[in-house]
Amino acid sequence: MNLKLRLTIMSFLQFFVWGAWLITIGTYCFNAKGWTGAQFGAIFSTLAIASIFMPPITGIIADKWINTERLYGVLQILYGVVLFFVPQVNDPDTLYYVILLAMIFYMPTISLSNSISYSILKNNNYDVVKVFPPIRVWGTIGFIAAMWITNLTGSKANANQFLIGAFAAIALGIYSFTLPKCLPQKSLGKNSSIVEILGLNAFKLFANYKMALFFIFAMFLGAALQLTNMYGDSFLDDFRNVPQYADSFVVKYSTIIMSISQISETLFILAIPFFLRRFGIKKVMLFSMVAWVLRFGLFSFGNPAGGLWMIILSCIVYGMAFDFFNISGSIFVETTTDSRIRSSAQGLFMMMTNGFGAYSGSKISGYIIDKYFTHDGMKDWHSIWLTFAIYALIVTIAFAVLFKHKHDQKDLAGVAH
């Protein structure tokens, strides 16, 4: 089988096994189980907790001892096995630990899958910059496919969504053992200190005012990155409690509506080089933040009838909101840090956004929804999304005023090609 096709299959399944339940776990916890926002927020925060410590640990293991494709396969199989236990869980405290264990196995596979693709492509003399993006796009397509399958099989409010992910994950784990070998690089020297091994030397970047400010804003925006993944499907599904919307297309196929967000991602990824060349990194990050304001604000005023266009438009701007900050932020780190700590700095960026930022967003949003926006078991979604929009607007204004960075076309010379 063609190498690019084999890697495309891996990329497709990598995000299929996550997309089967990530967008609909909120519907499962709120609508099927009747759990509180705080309980669900704690469960969803496990993604962030695992993102803080697991990727660097598995990176060291792959560097020094085990073939990357083998470690990847083992982690996927373990992730799938844990998902099989979810249907047996009937209380939120237990599910917290089950999902945490699943995320401990899954989250590092995202970076490992990239490492496998890079290694195999380089070893076979492919141009990684040219060949990898079309392979990676199939990961988003896999995520969309899983969402559709979950919705169309009637699984968005029951535990079957986790079984779909489990079967696919075990299949992916077995499949990964057939990939070309990605041998340990043993890149860490014998005299490397524990600080160097753990990548902690990158923390000295906090002594630089601009970098410290960037990482702080990365954390603030990271708190917003997963909010619509947490609550979006549950929000649309709750329209079934309004008589005139109960039988609407939006309620029946809420997960398919939400998948427009991921479809949008594939389009905005392709537009990023143009925007970076034309506007520069800071403005592209600002576009992302404005898009978050629109994402939440449009949800606040949208409905399945006359306001359907707002829901659709919210899903369309999601691609800009999510990808423009993640990718432009990564490029900012790449072009402004010392090459000797660049990988560690990228890890620090991910830790602040998907780790500390996402964790605080998950926990605080759940608490706020319970305390201020839940009345007699019903959630005031208009006020919830409006609050999120105001938060994103405050972050946007503060970033525009406080963060100083001049656009230098030379920094982007290798990005746009």
Domain range 1-182, its CATH number among 2.140.10.10, 3.20.20.70, 1.20.1250.20, 1.10.10.10 = 1.20.1250.20
Report in angstroms the alpha-carbon separations of 365 from 138, 145, 370: 31, 28, 9
Give the closest residue to 183 by CA, choosing from 62, 61, 54.
62
Tens of pLDDT along the chain (417 residues)? 688 899 999 999 999 999 999 888 888 888 778 888 888 888 888 888 888 877 667 766 766 678 888 999 999 999 999 999 999 998 999 999 999 999 999 988 887 887 788 778 878 887 765 777 788 788 889 998 998 999 889 888 888 999 999 999 999 999 999 988 877 765 545 556 655 555 556 667 777 778 888 889 989 998 888 788 778 888 898 898 888 898 898 888 888 888 898 889 888 877 877 887 788 888 888 999 999 999 999 999 999 988 999 999 999 999 899 888 877 777 777 677 765 555 556 667 777 888 888 888 888 988 898 889 988 888 899 999 999 999 999 999 999 999 887 755 555 544 444
Structure tokens at 399: 């970033």
Find out whether 368 and 349 touch, Cβ atoms under 8 Å.
no
The reply to whether 1-182 and 195-417 are identical in fold is yes
Supply the pTM of this predicted model.
0.75
Torsion sign across C-alpha atoms 364, 369, 372, 376: negative
pLDDT tens digit string along 229-255? Answer: 778 888 898 898 888 898 898 888 888
Residues 6+ apart with CB under 8 A from 12: 138, 139, 141, 142, 145
pLDDT tens digit string along 260-290? Answer: 988 898 888 778 778 877 888 888 889 999 9
Whole-angstrom Cα distance, residue 283 to residue 349?
19
- What number of H helices and E strands is found in the chain? 18, 2
End-to-end CA distance of the chain: 28
Alpha-carbon Rg for the chain, nearest whole angstrom, is 21
Report in angstroms the alpha-carbon separations of 13 from 9, 142, 164, 210, 252: 6, 6, 12, 38, 26
Report in angstroms the alpha-carbon separations of 398 from 64, 157, 192, 391, 404: 43, 39, 40, 11, 11
Whole-angstrom Cα distance, residue 393 to residue 190?
48
Under DSSP, the state recorded for 185 is: -
* Tally of CA atoms within 13 A in the half-sphere of 227 that contains its CB: 32
Report in angstroms the alpha-carbon separations of 311 from 92, 250, 294, 350, 410: 30, 9, 10, 29, 39
Superfamily for domain range 195-417:
MFS general substrate transporter like domains (1.20.1250.20)
Q: How is the chain split into domains, by residue range?
A: 1-182, 195-417
Give the closest residue to 361 by CA, choosing from 381, 383, 391, 320.
391
- Give the number of other CB atoms < 10 A from CB of residue 74: 16
